[in-house]
């Protein structure tokens, strides 16, 4: 994997870059639709390519390990061939999912023992076998196994957790470097910065990660309960240390305004379940704000879902029709709302990139960010 910075903003730390993988290029800033179990909920690969215009999607090690299982994925030739997505894939190591199973997991120095949410069966994730699992899944970018600390953790807990993550990271790097890809393309490993909301810990973790000199780096453990301003502060602390010439991935973030604020602070890559999860609940993200399509106001609004969108469904179907579908719990409604939100997120980061190239990113961001945060009330 290679990364090059093509344009930088004169006022902020925003930058427009290009990541090149064996499965194609990724223009940054970029948003990655979340395909937890190998599919983005309700959206097939043709929609992802043609309507959403996704360049990379995310899969999850924990879920794919449990279902369909590594044997099926390896026999298929990896996740790309299994799900038909012929573009880059990133896999989350499963750390967040494992550590969210607070009642059904136990941490040791060796790794994390957990019970499946599906059948209660017992499993062990270690830094070594998580590297092996992700080799078998076959993502282009794989993540180190870390402990995701809650945003409200006390300092001593956060420090011990970060230090364990560092020890695990060294084991991840060793295992990754002594193994080879199983399929006919290369893979790369991103370490993850932790440290909760404590600048000293974040700085220490970022320095530790930066010194490893990997192809890219991730910022984890944010948007997990801490105040939004604290999240922005931690991004600034970390990005002041992480190498400028490597892509920076902010994990699990976030709302449209969160994304623009993070781009301003030098982040290149994002993922979040909000576009599809909120879409299934009838929330549509737009440049005018968030629309609750369940509101009865939209029942007789026969204007397009979004006439400014490049997505054909946004221009073809009306708000009234989408309101009807969502109120009836019709599957097509969930699909259209998810499709709209994903297309909007990719449009948002694409617009941000263009304004970085044009040299007016900050002016543009200031002109749209307040609207992005508001709820459209009719």
| CA distance linking residue 22 with residue 177, whole number of Å | 18
- Put the strands of the sheet holding 105-107 in their side by side order: 105-107, 112-115, 122-125
Question: Does 92 qualify as catalytic in the annotation?
Answer: yes
Residue 181 · residue 217 · CB < 8 Å: no
Instruction: Report angle CA 169, 173, 175 to the nearest 5 degrees.
Output: 115
Q: Which residues pair with 107 in a beta bridge?
A: 112
What does 316-334 look like in DSSP terms, one character per residue?
A: HSBHHHHHHHHHTT-HHHH
Q: Which two tokens stand for residue 230?
A: 């604290």
Q: Rounded distance, CA 258 to CA 283, Å?
A: 17
Catalytic residue among 51, 92, 257, 306: 92
**Strand 217-219 and strand 192-193: pairing?**
parallel
Comparing CA positions, the residue from 299, 340, 304, 341 lying closest to residue 323 is 299
| 24 Rama sector, left if φ>0, alpha if ψ -120 to 50, beta otherwise | left
DSSP at 304: B
Burial class (CB in 10 A: 0-12, 13-18, 19+), 302: exposed
Picking from 363, 359, 366, 316, the residue whose alpha carbon sits closest to that of residue 336 is 316
- Number of Cβ within 10 Å of residue 50's Cβ equals 12
Query: Is 351 labeled as catalytic in the residue annotation?
Result: no
Those residues whose C-beta lies under 8 Å from the C-beta of residue 377, and which sit 6 or more positions away, are none
DSSP 6-19: EEE-SSSS-EEEEE
Name the active-site residue from 51, 257, 268, 271: 271
CA 137 to chain centre: 18
CA distance 191 to 167: 12
Task: Write the Ramachandran bin of 121: left for phi over 0, alpha for psi from -120 to 50, otherwise beta.
Answer: beta
Give the catalytic positions in this structure.
Answer: 92, 271
């Amino acid at each position: 994997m290679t990364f090059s910075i093509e344009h930088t903003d004169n006022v902020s730390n925003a930058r427009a870059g290009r990541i090149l993988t064996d499965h194609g290029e990724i223009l940054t800033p970029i948003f990655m639709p979340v395909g937890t179990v190998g599919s983005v909920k309700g959206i097939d690969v043709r929609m992802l390519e043609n309507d959403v215009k996704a360049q990379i999607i995310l899969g999850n090690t924990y879920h794919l390990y449990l279902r369909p299982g590594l044997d099926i994925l390896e026999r298929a030739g990896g996740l790309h061939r299994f799900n038909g997505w012929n573009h880059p894939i990133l896999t989350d190591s499963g750390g967040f999912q494992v550590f969210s199973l607070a009642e059904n997991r136990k941490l040791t120095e060796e790794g994390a023992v957990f019970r499946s949410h599906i059948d209660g069966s017992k499993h062990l994730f270690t830094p070594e076998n998580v590297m092996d699992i992700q080799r078998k899944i076959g993502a282009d970018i794989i993540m180190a196994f870390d402990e995701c600390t809650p945003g409200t953790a006390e300092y001593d807990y956060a420090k011990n957790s970060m230090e364990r993550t560092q020890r695990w990271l060294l084991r991840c790097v060793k295992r990754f470097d002594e193994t080879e890809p199983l399929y006919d393309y290369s893979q790369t490993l991103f370490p993850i910065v932790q440290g909760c909301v404590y600048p000293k810990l974040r700085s220490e973790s970022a320095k530790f990660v930066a010194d490893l000199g990997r192809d890219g780096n991730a910022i984890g453990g944010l948007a997990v309960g801490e105040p939004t301003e604290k999240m922005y502060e931690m991004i600034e602390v970390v990005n002041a240390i992480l190498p400028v010439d490597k892509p920076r991935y902010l994990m699990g973030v976030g709302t449209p305004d969160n994304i623009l604020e993070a781009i301003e602070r030098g982040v290149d890559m994002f993922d979040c379940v909000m576009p599809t999860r909120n879409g299934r609940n009838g929330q549509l993200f737009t440049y005018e704000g968030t629309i609750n399509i369940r509101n009865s106001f939209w029942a007789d609004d026969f204007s397009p879902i979004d006439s400014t969108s490049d997505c054909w469904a946004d221009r073809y179907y009306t708000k009234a029709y989408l309101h009807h579908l969502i109120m009836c719990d019709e599957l097509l409604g969930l699909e259209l709302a998810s499709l709209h939100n994903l297309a909007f997120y990719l449009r948002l980061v694409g617009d941000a990139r263009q304004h970085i190239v044009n040299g007016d990113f900050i002016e543009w961001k200031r002109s749209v960010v307040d609207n992005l945060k508001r709820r459209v009330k009719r």
